[in-house]
């Protein structure tokens, strides 16, 4: 296996002095599906934004972030070839980040802009085969029939599926999803997680998904990285994450990630074997 993501010695202080990430070292192999869990404020978004090159690490440090062997940033400086790296990285946001007034198909075609000559992008002159690619991506996420609608007319779950279709069209090898289901109802959440798992399985894309709730992480991701106050406090099989261990790691904050405020419908077949007896102890512990 080769490395999809390498993070070394990552530290981040924000301008207000907040030490949001502390000595993060993390390696993810190609084709993995990894959950990034932690209470709100633990640093999940900040970490993913560093990987996408949207935020720079502390200056004058030994930090290094590489995606697919290419440097994103080093020592607090974004690499000069960042555009090439960004083309490999798809970002899925909690709030979807679609252009509301544009049709869904056009929103998905935005995923192609990094390889479309600028003037064609500006003039929105996408070619027929590019439109076909976007329609195919929309079909894969199950919303091809919405392609002509304005993005704003879609439900939250459909908008998030369109955002995932955009990463498909982009041809992203690494998909970073930052709490993609936090704003969705349980059924839409299940669909979005199923789609991310399918992209991982069928396309071999590396998926790193931050999640607020541990039950969803365990259901879909064989590996969990747990953040607490900017530090990695656990990195290992999701199956080994017991409520007891989570309480050890998080103390009173454990309840925030143990109680599934947004539990998925139980009808979905788990992609990963859940821990035997996981749900009942959770319910008792709550
Ligand atoms: N731009 C910023 N300026 C100052 N502090 C920030 C900024 N962004 C995030 N933080 C702080 O960094 C910490 C981690 O935030 P974040 O990565 O958003 O956590 P999470 O995504 O796990 O909820 C929090 O304490 C948050 O308040
Ligand atoms: Mg966040």
Distance CA 4, CA 47 (A): 15
Tell me what the mean pLDDT of segment 210-217 comes to: 92
Q: Which residue has better confidence, 279 or 259?
A: 259
pLDDT of residue 254: 86
Output the pLDDT for position 260. 57
Ranges 37-46, 79-88, 134-143: which has the least confidence: 79-88
The reported pLDDT for the residue numbered 111 is: 83
278 has a pLDDT exceeding 70? no
Where residue 276 falls among pLDDT bands split at 50, 70, 90? very low
Give the C-alpha separation, 92 to 233, whole Å.
Answer: 25
Residues with CB under 5 A from ligand 2 (ion): 44-45
Strands of the chain, DSSP E: 3-13, 19-29, 33-37, 64-67, 70-74, 77-78, 89-92, 174-178, 206-211, 223-228, 231-237
Concatenated DSSP letters of 119-133: HHHHTT---HHHHHH
Residues with CB under 6 A from ligand 1: 14, 16, 18, 20, 38, 40-46
pLDDT of residue 91: 95
Q: What is the pLDDT of residue 272?
A: 43
| Residues 6+ positions from 183 with CB-CB distance below 8 Å | 94, 95, 156
Residues 101-117: tens digit of each pLDDT: 999 999 999 888 776 66
Prediction pTM value: 0.89
Minimum CA distance residue for ligand 1 atom 6: 14
Average pLDDT over residues 34-50: 96
Could you give the CA distance from residue 221 to residue 123 in angstroms, rounded to a whole number? 41
Q: What is the mean pLDDT of residues 186-211?
A: 97
The protein residue with its alpha carbon nearest to ligand 1, atom 8, reads 46
Q: Is 1 exposed, middle or buried (0-12, 13-18, 19+ CB in 10 A)?
A: exposed
pLDDT mean over 202-214:
95
**Other CB atoms within 10 Å distance of the CB of residue 98:** 22
Domains in the chain: ranges and CATH:
1-88+174-185+206-261 (3.40.50.300), 95-172 (no CATH)
Ligand at shortest distance from the CA of 20: 1
Give CA–CA dist 93/96, Å, rounded.
5
pLDDT over threshold 80, residue 205 = yes
Q: Read off the pLDDT band of 122 (50, 70, 90).
A: low
């Amino acid at each position: 296996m080769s490395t999809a993501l390498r993070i070394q010695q990552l530290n981040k202080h924000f301008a207000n002095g907040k030490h949001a990430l502390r000595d993060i070292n993390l390696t993810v192999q190609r084709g993995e599906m990894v959950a990034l869990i932690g209470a709100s404020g633990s640093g999940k978004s900040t970490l993913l934004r560093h990987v996408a090159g949207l935020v720079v690490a502390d200056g004058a440090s030994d930090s290094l972030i590489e995606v697919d062997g290419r440097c994103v940033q080093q020592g607090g400086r974004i690499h000069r070839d960042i555009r090439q790296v960004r083309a490999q990285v798809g970002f899925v946001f909690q709030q979807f980040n679609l252009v509301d007034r544009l049709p869904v198909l056009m929103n998905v075609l935005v995923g192609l802009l990094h390889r479309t000559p600028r003037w064609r992008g500006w003039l929105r002159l996408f070619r027929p085969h590019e439109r076909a690619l976007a329609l195919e991506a929309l079909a894969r996420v199950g919303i091809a029939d919405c392609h002509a609608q304005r993005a704003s007319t879609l439900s939250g779950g459909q908008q998030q599926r369109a955002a995932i279709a955009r990463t498909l069209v982009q041809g992203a090898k690494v998909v970073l999803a930052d709490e993609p289901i936090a704003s969705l109802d349980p059924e839409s959440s299940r669909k979005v997680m199923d789609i991310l798992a399918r992209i991982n399985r069928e396309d071999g894309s590396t998926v790193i998904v931050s999640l607020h709730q541990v039950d969803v992480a365990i259901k879909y991701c064989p590996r969990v990285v747990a953040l607490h106050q900017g530090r990695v406090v656990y990195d290992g099989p999701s199956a080994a994450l017991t409520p007891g261990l989570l309480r050890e790691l998080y103390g009173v904050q454990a309840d925030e990630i143990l109680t599934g405020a947004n539990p998925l419908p139980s009808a979905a077949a788990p992609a990963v074997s859940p821990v035997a007896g996981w749900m009942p102890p959770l319910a008792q512990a709550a």
